[in-house]
Each structure stands twice: as C-alpha cells, then as structure tokens.
Amino acid sequence: MSKSARELVFATNNPHKLLEVQHILGESFKLLSLQDINLTEEIPEDHDTLEKNALQKAWYIYNKSAVSCFADDTGLEVDALDGKPGVYSARYAGEGKNSKDNIKKLLKELQGVKNRKARFRTVIALIVDGNEHLFEGIVNGLIIDYERGEDGFGYDPIFQPDGFSLTFAQMPLDQKNDISHRARAVNHLADFLMKQ
C-alpha cells in the first residue's frame, strides 16, 4: 500500500467484501472497516429503497466519524413480483430465516410463472467532504426453478446471469466477481474516485 493512499471507510465488517472491493480500487486507496474506526454499534438500515438505505448508512458513519466513507445495499428484483424481494432480500422469508428459506419462498411464489426475469442491483452511497454520490451496478438474469450449484451465498443457486448457462453458485468466484452487480457498482465508484 503506498504511503499516499487515501483512506476510505467501507461500511462493512465482512473481510471478504473488504478484500474484494480493495482489490478493485487498487493501491491508491486504503479501505478501513467499521472495526478499524471502532464503530461497533449496529448501523440503522430501515428504509424502503436500496438508495435510501445506502445513504442512511453512509451518512450515519460520516456524522459519527467525519471521514470519507461509503456504504452499499443490494437486492434481487424479480419482474413478475413487481421488483420484490428487492430491499427486503436478506429477510424475505422473515426475521431469523436463512437463504434456504428465502429461496424456498421465492420459488414458491414463482411456481407456474413464465416470466423469470430478474436482476441483482447494488447501490453504493459515497460521502466525500460532506457531499453524497450514488453509484449503481446491475446484472440481469433469470430465476431458474430449482437450485443449482454449491458455491456463493444468498440467491446464487437460483440466479442465472444473462449470457451464461451456469448459476452464480456454479461459477468460480473470479468469474462471478468479474460480472457481478457489486463489482459493477464498485467499478463506477473507482472511476469516480480516480478522477477526484
């Protein structure tokens, strides 16, 4: 890491996410986790859109620590369900339920439904010098009707990105990271930061 790397707080304590995003941003930036800045309390995230949640988290950190920071929020938006589960993707089957339960509920709701189009959408909210900026990353695909693959997390076993015959859960991680919603949003963030 170069000495002049700019420090940026990423609203996560997930070391995998931190590494993945650090890799995309490169050496000009040094990412700090919430733990690194001793922010241990739970950050509120109670809005009804990805944009509002990402902004809420980023402003919360900025107001506490006054450092440049960004937060992300992701949802799976299914056309036939008017964009659901969307912002509620993590707890679609209810509080305390897991990804398997979420998948089960989604497949049940899509039983017999022909239109299987869906997208993962990530929104990143960045706050620099008190100004907010939003970035979006989308990957379009289909919800298949049974689980395929062991890797990944969340809805990966039932999401097949357009142009591929594998689900996200069947792809090597590098391949998923090349085309994923999160990577696309982070690339937009990186383009913006490089120009600053």
Cβ closest to ligand IMP, residue 70 vs residue 168: 168
77 binds ligand IMP (CB under 6 A): no
Q: How far is the CB of 177 from ligand IMP (least distance, A)?
A: 9
Judged by CB, which is closer to ligand IMP: 5, or 179? 179
Q: Tell me: does residue 167 bind ligand IMP (CB under 6 A).
A: no
- Which residues are CB-neighbours of 179 under 8 A, at least 6 positions away? 139, 161
| DSSP one-letter string for the chain | --TTPEEEEES---HHHHHHHHHHH-TTEEEE-TGGGT--SPPP---SSHHHHHHHHHHHHHHHH-S-EEEEEEEEEEGGGTT-EETTGGGTT-TT--HHHHHHHHHHHTTT-S--EEEEEEEEEEEETTEEEEEEEEEEEEE-SS---SSSSTTGGGEEETT-SS-GGGS-HHHHHHH-HHHHHHHHHHHHHHH-
Binding-site string for ligand IMP from residue 90 to residue 119, where x marks contact by CB under 6 A and - marks none: x--------x--------------------
**Mask: binding to ligand IMP, 136-155, rule CB under 6 A, as x and -?**
----------------xxxx
Indicate whether 156 belongs to the interface with ligand IMP (CB under 6 A). yes
Of the candidate residues 21, 39, 74, 126, the single one contacting ligand IMP (CB under 6 A):
74
Residue 12 is a binding residue for ligand IMP (CB under 6 A): no
Q: Which of the ranges 1-9, 57-65, 68-76, 188-196 carries the binding residues for ligand IMP, by CB under 6 A?
A: 68-76
Catalytic residue check, 73: yes
**Residues that bind ligand IMP in the complex, under the rule CB under 6 A:** 73-76, 89-90, 99, 120, 152-156, 168, 180
